[in-house]
Amino acid sequence: MSTDSSSNARSLQIAEVERISILGSESIVCGFHLVDYIWTDIFTNLAAASTYVLITDTNLAALYADKYKEGFTAAWAHVRPGVAAPRLLVRVLPPGETSKSRATKSEIEDWMLAQKCTRDTLVMALGGGVIGDLVGFVAATFMRGVPFVQVPTSLLAMVDSSIGGKTAVDTPAGKNLVGSFWQPKRIFMDMAVLSTLPPREFSNGMAEVVKTAAIWTAEEFDVLEAGAEDIRAAVLEGQKDGDMAGLTIASRSEAQSLLLRVISASARVKAYVVTHDERESGMRGLLNFGHTIGHAIEAVLSPQVLHGECVAVGCVLEAEVARRMGHLGDVSVARLARCLRAYGLPTAMDDAIIRGLVGEERLRELRPQRLMDVMSVDKKTVGSQKRLVVLKRLGETLEMKPTNIDDSLILEVVSEGVRVNAVADVTQQAVTVVPPGS
């Protein structure tokens, strides 16, 4: 919808949105074409700031920096007509995981201090998980903590890293080992930006969507299992029907509505879990299904193999652990593997996708003991005790927290590099005669 409170300013295009509650506040906002909404909401409902700092990377700056600068000016003119605007500073970083470092964090902080940013500064993270994690950590420590908002631009960041307040940088010892919990004041999920995603980034994000359904909701897993092509079209093509298609509920296409359902369903699960276990003392550990083994693989093969690709393999291997413990059936493991493959994801350490990304020599670096060593410093490990999320059935876990697992069983599974193949009749079973809890 358009608003025009100033004859000297352009009309604002204020999106109709869906809000999701987390930690007692409806601070997750989902919709399409949110730039005007974002700035209007910030100026109207968050504490006033003397300086707004937008941090993004070079790829996204080329697409969105000017749009956010113009939106800032237009929204301020509507919300505070006749009042001098605060500063908007923009910092552009190199893209990629290498920016998520202590060195880059220090550079940003030194730049903000040189710009005379004070405690009444609001920081905006416009980007994927790297930008969100890094900028959130900057906000958590700058002047002992300043407010920030997340504007995730990748599917992976929308459904995973932007929600929950985890911020961090990587170190030579592993990913995300130095960081803080620092909750964003808002998480703005603008679905319109997803149409620019490369297909591989779509797959990268879908690993977390499938993971969430596998631990929480059998119905949503069924939707993902049956609707891979429709969901792919919704993400990669669903926003191309018109310049502002989806801004209002009435203008939303069927594909856009499906996209909103898939992302908001996954976000709601994470928001619920975070609300009940913000600091990961129990339930929040469920969100790490696939991540214990997946992060170990990622530590060896990153950056050539993406986070979601490693988590997909981790999900299948951790499901195999559950099967060998006697908690999960063969059909469920096969369904999980087949669903992940439907979204273009690898399901084994020697998968052709991974082999093609890293080559044979690099693949040999996935030595079982090296993976076990990485897992030993994983944040989910307690002392020397490794913990995995154990599935009882698709959509339900054995416990409402990670389960202690013997090293010998994990080593056995990663040593075999288990490949799970969906046999021909599993498809028919899954579609027509799947018993509850399979």
Task: For residue 160, give the DSSP letter.
Answer: I
CA distance 270 to 150: 15
CA distance 95 to 112: 20
Tracing tokens 């730039």 back to the chain, one arrives at 35
The rounded Cα 237 to chain-centroid distance in angstroms is: 20
Omega cis (within 30) before 402: no
Nearest of 343, 340, 347, 331 to residue 391 by alpha carbon = 331
CA distance 180 to 162: 14
Task: For residue 147, give the DSSP letter.
Answer: -
Omega cis (within 30) before 172: no
Task: For residue 143, give the DSSP letter.
Answer: G
- Helical segments of 217-364, H only: 218-226, 228-237, 254-276, 291-301, 307-324, 330-342, 352-363
> Any idea which residues carry the catalytic annotation?
144, 166, 208, 270, 280, 284, 288, 291, 295, 307
Q: Are 434 and 330 in contact (CB under 8 A)?
A: no
Residues pairing with 402 in the sheet: none
Which two three-digit tokens encode residue 291?
Answer: 């991540």
Nearest of 321, 295, 315, 317 to residue 306 by alpha carbon = 295
CA distance 191 to 235: 8
The residue type of 81 is P
